[in-house]
Chains A and B, each alone.
Chain A
Amino acid sequence: MGSILIVAEVQNGSIREASYELASFAQKLGREVHSLVIGSGVAGEAEAFAKKGGGTVHLVDAEAAANYNVDVYAAAIKAAVAATSPDAVLISNTPTGWDVAPRIAAAQDCGFVSDAFDVAEEGGSLVFKRRVFNGKLDAQITASGPVVATMQPGGTAPFEGTTDGSVSALEADLSGAKSAFVEVKVAEAKGVDLSKAEIIVSGGRGVGEPEKFPEVIQPLADALGGAMGASRPVVDAGWLPHEYQVGSSGQIVTPKLYIAAGISGAIQHLVGMKGSNFVIAINKDPDAPIFEVADVGVVADLFEVVPALTEAVSAAKG
């Protein structure tokens, strides 16, 4: 049985929680575990990772790796693959992972599985589970040989045990990059801060037309004394500005009440609202994944339910 190579991800000087989740998966599979830590001035983090599930840590500590760069990371990962000949390379499905991981599979001419939330061993092969059709269906995928896989953050708990791994420096030629990091622009604070709202009423693509937000969604938010939110397609279409977007690439919200109308419940949306205390979902598709995270569900046309609810709430307030 071969080994597993984890590509740990350093963010703001520390190894991300998602990398410790990779350690959980790798340790569970019961194979020899190797890790790659890439960054600048991260020897201490590498030591910590070796003691917490990372196994034998190969460290690429270089000025050139101070910030993420696809060419530099690809070169470092290829060097680690050459040094360890793993059966599986595990990378987190983050903006870094989805930028670089497929390159490694192409370079190795091996299998690739993305955004898996589970991996297990069956008859010597690795079997992955992942979502397809934006969360509406699941798929089980078997890799017939070596594989590069990105794992969904939150797919398992971070590794909590202690292991006695060691750290050694890995030689990698990081020169010859054809792209260069310039800067990271952090999100500016906007007018609408949904992170503090107690009640949020969000509309999705099912709302259908831009006018329906002020006509149907906002009035319910107003009646409840809450704020309006939206899913990404609403913002992409220019119906509402980005500050209304809830999700992995928008705001993370934790209201006492979250009402989702015409939102299917793709993982990137759920990441943004699953910390809500109570969720009401209104969707005409009984199989919409949003009903799995909602406390209360209504399978109906939002254009019937939402205006009637607005009226009833206003009446209840008197």
Chain B
Amino acid sequence: MKILVCLKQVPHQDARLDIDAAGTWIKEDNIKFEINSYDTYALEEALRIKDAGEAEVVVTSIGPDRVTQALRTALGMGADRAVHVKDAEIDGSDALGVAKVLAAVAKEESPDLVLMGLMSDDSNASAVGPMIAELMGVPNASSVMKVELADGKVTCERELEGGALEVVELQTPCVLAVQSGLNQVRYASLKGIMAAKKKPIDVKGAGDIGLSGQVGAGAAKTTIDKIYPPPKGEGAELIEGSTGEVVEKLVGKIKELGLL
């Protein structure tokens, strides 16, 4: 069994979001990055499958040098090796461009399972997983909350609305885009971090995976014109003052509602 886990490195959830000079993305210098929250659950699920039997877990990420850190963390948690796709030519790709690169990595690796996150915390696209499945010609399931493997088949529970779950059976290979909370994610142990130093990170460019000239900003079919703070509506009445004053006003409001 071989599992490919796609990891995106994204701005830390508590990072300051300042808009860049072009007005089309945030300033990425001087902020902390982390592994996309949904992807940590995908990696954990892969490691659990490995712990329960035999599996090789390969992690892959597209991005600049800083992405090495995310891959090292994943190796420290227990992944076996990493493929880092790093190429200025890929910059500015839309979701389909990213999916083409990851599908090309998947083609080289031919995994039984591709695990990824439901969406990235920065672009919130929820696009790449099903796109890879289409490009590979394999089935997919998204918002996955449970994974069971038996007899060459994968049985998943997909989260629907209001807490309902859909059970679906997929042939392998398949692509699963996981929802947050499907497991409890481990931390890298000190021993794991030491061991990770010897684990290989393969660095590849667009040309190495046969995609030169086919991805990147020039090939993107959608463009971000601008990003901006959401327009403010009426908004809340802000209550200011010392904690004592604030609390007094809040109690007043609750009394007005007839709830005190």
- Listed in ascending order, the chain A residues whose CB lies under 8 Å from chain B are 68-71, 74, 94-95, 98-107, 109-115, 127, 130-145, 147, 177-187, 198-199, 205, 224, 232-233, 235-238, 242, 248-252, 256-257, 277-281, 287, 289, 291-292, 294-300, 304-305, 308-309, 311-313, 316-317
Contact = CB atoms under 8 A, between A and B. Distances in A.
A232 B164 CA distance: 15
B158 A99 contact: yes
B251 A281 contact: no
Nearest to A225: B259
A242 B260 contact: no
Given A70-B139, A137-B228, A198-B259, 10 more contacts: A112-B94, A115-B126, A132-B123, A140-B226, A144-B223, A179-B139, A183-B167, A280-B253, A308-B243, A308-B246
14 contacts: A95-B161, A98-B130, A103-B130, A106-B135, A112-B221, A114-B125, A137-B230, A183-B166, A185-B166, A248-B162, A292-B230, A292-B233, A298-B250, A312-B247
Interface residues of B, number: 84
B96 interface: yes
Contacts of A132: 122-124, 227
B3 interface: no
B149 interface: no
Query: What are the 3 closest A-B residue pairs judged by CB atoms, nearest first?
Result: A187-B163, A297-B236, A236-B181
B239 A114 contact: no
A134 B174 CA distance: 28
Contacts of B94: 111-112
Nearest to B132: A106
Interface string B200-237: 00000000000000000000011111111111110111
A140 B229 CA distance: 11
Contacts of A113: 222
Contact of B260 (A131, A280, A317): A317
Interface stretch (B61-69, B77-85, B140-148): B140-148
A11 to B, nearest CB: 9
A71 B253 CA distance: 53
B226 A313 contact: no
B168 A180 contact: yes
A73 B141 CA distance: 13
A178 B170 contact: yes
Given A74-B134, A137-B17, A102 B127 contact: yes
Contact of A308 (B125, B238, B247): B247
